[in-house]
Amino acid sequence: MANPSVSEPSGSASATQRAYGRLRDLIVTGELKPGEKLKIDGLRQRLATGASPIREALSLLTSDNLVERFDQRGFRAANVSENNFREILTLRCSLEDMALRQSIENASQAWEEHIVLAHHRMQRAHTEQSDEFEARHKAFHMALLSAADSPILLKFCSQLYDLNIRYRYLAGNALHYQQRDVTSEHEQILTACIARDTQTAADTLLNHYKTTGAFLTGLLGTGSL
């Protein structure tokens, strides 16, 4: 399968959790395409599990905006559109800005160490071309926000992260060229956070998103997707 896995260990406890994580990966990575009908029975076989866990997982994904439910007519992978992407990008900028500022405000030594570690792990995964890079990348970004002491806000950010990264996968290799200075951008953000330089951190972070975002919007606009 060779699946990157944006999420946590998939060997976890309940079948529902496994199905949830697995399906989310499939959708985020585009293996299940936007708008694609998600037939219970098909997925049941694919994930080798019963219908109940599948349905529950799909319900959860519905709340994450990754799946659309049509009463009595099953589920589909959520559609994509330029508008949708713009919305995600805009919201993400607003909410992460908010969260990052709160996070830095509450900054503690533990948090500082946490982000340093998360950054390092991401870096290592990157140089090693590891499968884990995606997970580490998300972990780093969430770590930045983690001191915000606002679980709901963090949950929103996490959801938006997934929604956003889905578009990156859809753009696929078109995006590889611009592995540009992402690394340096990450370092800048990290440095600013350690220095408790809220403004720079926020500016850099948002710019980080907007740059990638603008590029993706371009692709979407040209109908490449």
Partner DNA sequence: TCAGCGCATAATATCGATATTATGATGCGC
Partner DNA sequence: GCGCATCATAATATCGATATTATGCGCTGA
Chain contacts with DNA (rule: CB under 7 A)? 14-16, 37-41, 49-53, 55-56, 69-75
Taking alpha carbons only, the member of 140, 97, 104 closest to residue 121 is 140
Give whichever of 32 and 160 is closer to a copy of itself, judged by the CB atom. Answer: 160
Give whichever of 92 and 121 is closer to a copy of itself, judged by the CB atom. Answer: 92
Give whichever of 94 and 199 is closer to a copy of itself, judged by the CB atom. Answer: 94
Report whether 167 contacts 78 (CB < 8 A).
no
Identified binder of a copy of itself from the candidate list 142, 153, 194, 206, rule CB under 8 A: 153
Does residue number 150 form part of the binding site for a copy of itself (CB under 8 A)?
Answer: yes
Instruction: Tokens for 212, please give them.
Output: 């990638």
Residue 110 touches which of a copy of itself, DNA, none (Cβ within 5-8 Å per kind):
none
**Contacts by 26-33 with C-beta closer than 8 Å and gap 24+?**
27/61, 27/66, 27/67, 27/77, 27/78, 27/166, 28/66, 28/162, 28/165, 28/166, 28/169, 29/3, 29/4, 29/166, 29/169, 30/166, 30/169, 30/170, 30/172, 31/3, 32/77, 33/77
Q: How far apart are CA 56 and CA 50, in angstroms?
A: 11
- Quote the least distance from Cβ 74 to a copy of itself, whole Å: 11
Taking alpha carbons only, the member of 28, 20, 39, 34 closest to residue 4 is 28
Does residue number 60 form part of the binding site for a copy of itself (CB under 8 A)?
Answer: yes
- Quote the least distance from Cβ 62 to DNA, whole Å: 11
- Quote the least distance from Cβ 23 to a copy of itself, whole Å: 13
Encoded amino acid at 206, one letter: L
For residue 141, the surrounding DSSP H or E stretch is: helix 133-145
- Quote the least distance from Cβ 25 to DNA, whole Å: 18
Does residue number 14 form part of the binding site for a copy of itself (CB under 8 A)?
Answer: yes
Report whether 15 contacts 50 (CB < 8 A).
yes
Identified binder of a copy of itself from the candidate list 10, 62, 198, 200, rule CB under 8 A: 62
| Selected range binding a copy of itself among 22-30, 106-114, 148-156, 191-199, rule: CB under 8 A | 148-156
Q: How far apart are CA 147 and CA 142, in angstroms?
A: 10
- x/- track of binding to a copy of itself for residues 77-96 (CB under 8 A): ----------xx-xx--x--
Q: Is the dihedral of CA 113, 116, 118, 120 positive or negative?
A: negative
107-126: contacts with a copy of itself (CB under 8 A): none
Residues that bind a copy of itself in the complex, under the rule CB under 8 A: 13-14, 16-17, 52, 55-56, 59-60, 62-65, 71-72, 87-88, 90-91, 94, 98, 149-153, 155-156, 160, 163
